[in-house]
Structures are given as C-alpha cells and as structure tokens.
Structure 1
Amino acid sequence: MLNASLEPLCIVSVHRAVLLMMCGKATVLETDGRTLHSAHVELPLPVVISLTRYVHVPVRRPVPPTRRTVLQRDSHRCAYCGGGADTVDHVHPRSKGGRHEWANVVAACVRCNHRKADRLLHELGWELPFTPRAPRWSIAFGSGAVRADPLWSAYVVA
C-alpha cells in the first residue's frame, strides 16, 4: 500500500486492500490481470494500491541488527563460505571491542562461526566478499513472512 504521495507505507492483505478500494479510500495502481467477482461487483485483484488521501506517517526508527534481520539482509548465506547460514557472527569480536552494529555483524554457518571463534579475519587469512552495512528496507518491507511481488519493484527501493 502506497501513500497518496506514492511512498510505500506497508503490506496489507488482499481483503484489506479490497475493503479500502470499495470504501473509496484507495485506488489500484498495479494488478496481475486476475479479477475478484461477487454477485454484483467485479474488481481487479490489487497488487499495488494507493491511498486517495495523504496520511502523515511518523519517522521510522532504523531496523536493529537482530538475528532475523541480519539473516534476511545476507539472504541466509554464510559470509565466509557462501553456504546456508543459521547464526550470526561479529566480524570484529565483541571480546576484542567489536560492537553489535550492522557494519560488524554478518550471517554465518555454525561451522564457520565455530572455526572463527573470537579471532579477527586477518588472523585466519579470511576476507569478506562484501562490506556489511545497514539494509535500506524498513521493518514493513523486510518481513520474511511475506513474499515480495515483482510488481512492487517500481515502488519499493531495495
């Protein structure tokens, strides 16, 4: 769902989108060609809707680097070996003064996390294939529980 200014607000269910459309509070911007039928009404199945009136949204706080959000950012891939990741690792260990922040946390598999332990990367001769940084998505669009639709890409900056 987009604001009247076409900025992304949140992800809503099809049920909620249809209710907003029928009340005149939202219009359809993107559809996948399918339609919803009732006894008297036929509506396009909404994929992207826009509110008809602007809604003021307070400034969102940055997403914290939790296990779930770090794994999401790194696509559940180990930063060291490229395999499947199921835990997180501090690049500069906390025991040596590293902080728990986006630039210092990466997804890792249990094996690599255990091998690295509390050592620095140069001590092992390892290198990161990327520079860790905070994701640019918000909590509303970073949810792993919702499958992103390709039609959203024109409206949501990744």
Structure 2
Amino acid sequence: MDLDAPKVLVLNAAYEVLGLASIKRSVLLVLSGGAEMVSESGRHLHTPSTRIPVPSVIRLKRMVRRGVSRVPLNRRNVLRRDRYTCQYCGRQGSDLTVDHVVPKSRGGQRTWENLVAACRSCNLKKGDRTPEEAGMRLLKPPRAPKAPLFLAEMREIPEDWRPYLEALLK
C-alpha cells in the first residue's frame, strides 16, 4: 500500500470537498485530532501493537473555506477534463491534440467551451471548419469543469465518496 498516494477524500467541517490527501497525511490528521474519520476503506495499517483503520473519507474539525477554484485553462487540463479521449471519435490515448471547435481563423476563442481533445486524424479531418461543416459530431458539449479535475483521472470513484461529490458530478 502506497502511503504517499492521494487516496483519501478530504472534507471541510461543513462536509464540502476540499480535495485528496495521502493515506499517511490523513491517518496523522485523524490520530492528532485535526480530523475525524467519516468512512473507512476496509484496509488497515499494522504496527507491532496496534491495528489502525485506513480512512477513505475524512472531515477536518476546523472550518477551511473552499475557495472559488477556477481550473487553469491549458492543454493538460483540457485533456484531463475530456479524460484523454478524442471528443469526435472516442479514441483514447496520449497522442491527442487540442482542437478549437470554432476555428481561431473564424473568431473562435480560447475558452473551455471552444476547446476539446482530438486525435490527430480527427483534427486533420476537421481542419479549418466547424464540426458541422466537416460532417462530425462532438461526443459531448465542452464545458468549464465544475468538479475538481482529479475526479476526471480516476477510473472508479469509491462508492462512499459519492454522497459528497454528487453536486460536483452533475
């Protein structure tokens, strides 16, 4: 078990999602009284004399304000939002480009709503046209991400996280 990997959901005192913490950090927060364990992962850390449950969700005891977090608009975050999947054909991979839905030459802006992940062949096929002109369709309309982007990179979201993430996943 990798104790430094971010695998524990962290909530503030009002049960708002703050982000992820490592197992090591979350266990230390719980043991020091800075947080309470809301949900156990079912795994345990073993010392010679103690068995410590590994948290899946912790809640900080002090209120930490969740700032208005705007995700920076850049290539990496567009790919993360789109789950490294071409938004035209559904091909997945690391050899993706970022395409302007409305081309820059036609006044298309550099906004979340106008940028999508695209494989090279779809980007070439679309060229300097809109998807409609190229006879292509987007798998989903591009939007600014509401949820923290760490969620986009997770293959599966643990069931015990869902009640806290529900508003973010809509």
TM-score interval for Structure 1 and Structure 2 normalised by the shorter chain: 0.7 to 0.9
Name the CA shift for 1:121/1:34 in 2 (closer, same or farther; >3 Å). closer
Query: In structure 2, which of residues 51, 54, 76 is the aligned counterpart of residue 42 of structure 1?
Result: 51
Alignment of 1:21-60 (within 5 A): 21-57=30-66, 59-60=67-68
The CA deviation at 1:127 is 2.4
CA contact (8 A) 1:89 1:106 kept: yes
Greater RCO, 1 or 2 (C-alpha within 8 Å, sep 6+): 1
Alignment of 1:94-113 (within 5 A): 94-113=104-123
Alignment of 1:81-100 (within 5 A): 81-84=89-92, 86-100=96-110
Name the CA shift for 1:122/1:75 in 2 (closer, same or farther; >3 Å). same
Aligned to 2:81: 73
Name the CA shift for 1:55/1:123 in 2 (closer, same or farther; >3 Å). closer
CA contact (8 A) 2:83 2:152 kept: no
Offset from partner CA, 1:16-63 (integer Å, 9 cap, x none): 011111111111111122222223433211111111121234x23311
TM-score normalised to the size of structure 1? 0.86
The CA deviation at 1:11 is 0.8
Matched, 1:135 2:160: no
**Superposition RMSD in Å:** 2.0
Decide which moves more: 26-35 or 39-48.
39-48
**Separation in 2 of the partners of 1:125 and 1:143?**
28
User: What secondary structure does 1:77 align onto?
Assistant: coil
User: What secondary structure does 1:33 align onto?
Assistant: strand
Q: Which runs of 5+ in 2 are unaligned?
A: 1-9
Name the CA shift for 1:131/1:143 in 2 (closer, same or farther; >3 Å). closer
Matched, 1:62 2:70: yes
- Number of residues of Structure 1 aligned to a counterpart in Structure 2: 155
Offset from partner CA, 1:88-143 (integer Å, 9 cap, x none): 1000001111001011111100011112121122322222232211111135x357
User: What secondary structure does 2:83 align onto?
Assistant: coil
The alignment-based identity, stated in percent, is 43
Which amino acid in 2 is paired with 1:67? Answer: R
The CA deviation at 1:155 is 1.4
**Separation in 2 of the partners of 1:8 and 1:48?**
10
Aligned to 2:12: 3
Q: Which runs of 5+ in 1 are unaligned?
A: none
